[in-house]
Structure 1
């Protein structure tokens, strides 16, 4: 079965439709959820291109990250997806982007939104059998991007993308999301932006961040590296997602 792809009219976060012609109509690319491929959907939705990454691409990255592992720690044991943060970071690096973990102790106001290509949220998700909630705990990747001067929630579990609004609305949205300790935010920036720190305002001081240079296997401990980035144990911070 092929990907479920929607190019549909977007609604706002409060459920009211925006009028066509104001930058929120049917030009948005949106892949919908299949199996445990939310990481692939989040990446393709972020780049607004079908096939920017395929399941084969992400599986190859898993093998490069842990070439000798009998059971690859970066994806589902069943091979259905469920890719971890290391795979997302490696994929973005292939496109010339760094991935920066946002320290939730800092204010969203510290971010220079105009220098950030997009956002990826890692959020809890629930499994249900009919109306019964199952005791299965997984997380889910979603992407957020500015399209036609408005930020859009491109969650693959939505029927259609949802308009968040301008930068003020995005600040409020991200602030509300990050009040949940189980949610994490990744910033996607061009490599030169990551190197210069132009994704943050000069008045804000951040601790060392995890960028694409910090990709490591799941057995590595958190250690600082020479460029000031941080290697992090992905299975502790970002469990497998779907």
Structure 2
């Protein structure tokens, strides 16, 4: 009986940790596996998507982040990538994982003040992707990336996440893959 290969050491993975309400910045950078986006760049995208607005609808009123899906999608486009909103009524077995660059989840997350968890939930962006043959949860609220495993384990993980309400899943693909639809098995 052959054993599956060992996952790469966690130290070889790029993983930004949570600060302020910048989970969108961290999710994008963790997905790309490098520091690319900054708060200033996403704020600039907010301004371009809502020019002249006094209160920008794409981020926190206080300017601490909390970016919406439009900003994530616009940021991905600057990298030749596209985000596809996953229809949770479909089976994850219809995904062609080899055509998918990664995943971004929007999950409910408890608000904390220091060490105290408040009975309030907000949305939180989380990146998941494959690195060296294994899938990882690159949630910026984790101390380190969490190993998910192979394709079957990834599908199980994603199913568990999207079963929670209100959770949304975005597939991140190359623009050409979005255009030709090769991320989805033809049925």
TM-score, normalised on structure 2?
A: 0.93
Task: Indicate whether 1:102 and 2:101 are aligned.
Answer: no
Q: Could you say which residue in structure 2 is the equivalent of 1:144?
A: 128
2:33 to 48, 61, 76: 48
Please state how far the C-alpha of 1:130 moved relative to its aligned partner: 6.8
Aligned position for 2:97: 113
2: distance between equivalents of 1:45 and 1:128? 22
Unpaired runs of 5+ in structure 2? Answer: none
Q: Pick from 98, 111, 125: which aligns with 1:127?
A: 111
Distance 1:56 1:179 in 2: 34
Residue 148 of structure 2 is aligned to residue 164 of structure 1: yes
Distance in 2 of aligned mates of 1:171 and 1:35: 30
Q: Could you tell me how far 1:128 is from its partner in structure 2?
A: 3.7
1:207 paired residue number: none
Paired position in structure 2 for 1:219: none
Partner of 1:33: 18
Structure-1 residue corresponding to 2:61: 77
After TM superposition, the score normalised by the length of structure 1 is: 0.72
CA RMSD of aligned residues (A): 1.5
Partner of 1:237: none
- Within 5 Å, which residues of 2 pair with 1:178-217? 178-203=162-187
Which protein has the bigger helix share?
2
Q: Distance in 2 between matches of 1:174 and 1:46?
A: 16
Counterpart-to-counterpart distance in 1, 2:156 and 2:6: 22
Larger Rg: 1
3-state SS of the aligned residue for 2:16?
strand
Tell me the distance in 1 between the aligned counterparts of 2:178 and 2:115: 44
Q: For the residues of structure 1 that align with 2:33 and 2:185, how far apart are their CA atoms?
A: 27
Distance, in Å, in 2 between the alignment partners of 1:129 and 1:36 is 13
Query: What number of residue pairs does the alignment pair up?
Result: 182
- Checking the alignment, whether the CA contact within 8 Å between 1:24 and 1:163 is kept in structure 2 is no
1:115 CA displacement:
0.2
